[in-house]
Amino acid sequence: MGQFWTLMTAGGPIMFILLGLSALSLTLIVVKIVQLWPATGGVAGRNAALERWATGDAEGAMAMVPARAPADRVLLAGMQGLRTGLTPTLLEGDLARRGNDEVSSLSSGLRLLDLISMISPLLGLLGTVLGMVQSFQDLALAQGSANASVLAGGIWLALLTTAAGLVVAIPAAFGSSLLSGWVEKAALRIESAAGRLITLAAQPRQAA
């Protein structure tokens, strides 16, 4: 721990900025994993509920919807809308709106992760450039008393921020890519459930 803080202090203010960005990105990744983990599940339960709906048992179908994933909430809202007399045309628009709202909620925070993955290396590079400027300035002031080891030590410290920027950016980029894939999968689940319900709503069925 002592060595860690020594490196942080040696890297200057940019190292502490990168530390804050790292903590923020890791927190976002954990929060989004908790949010998205159940978002792609419940397929079997929704299929069973739609099959029950097709038989005319609306109450039984709504009771079978798992109501955990975004697709469950959209499907249940659609079923409730049909029960209250919503037409298939109005249902399609309502489900599209609800689906977009769910996907927007799932996507929240991912742009910030993308931003962190982009600016962290740039901040690291900025720290390196400033460190190199300082190293050569010190070398110029030292004049004849400077040697290669002094310059190498300054360059090593300058490159520290570049390494730190990459350490922050790589997990953020990986997390953003992984979570974006989960959001796309959840969106497909919503589209599938809504599409099947709209198709069933357009067909004549026995009243419950």
Q: For 128-149, what is each residue's pLDDT tens digit? A: 888 888 777 767 666 655 566 6
Residue 128 domain flag: yes
Q: Is there a single domain that holds both residue 63 and residue 99? A: yes
| Number of domain units in the chain | 2
Residue 208 domain flag: no
**Separation CA 151–CA 136 (nearest Å):** 8
Q: Is there a single domain that holds both residue 173 and residue 123? A: yes
Residue 89's pLDDT band (boundaries 50, 70, 90)? confident
Q: Is there a single domain that holds both residue 118 and residue 174? A: yes
Q: What is the mean pLDDT of residues 96-115?
A: 94
Q: Is there a single domain that holds both residue 20 and residue 75? A: no
Structure-block tokens of residue 7: 């490196």
Residue type, 68: R
**Separation CA 166–CA 173 (nearest Å):** 10
Range of the domain at 75: 44-106+192-201
Closest CA to 124 of 68, 89, 168: 168
Q: Is there a single domain that holds both residue 96 and residue 122? A: no
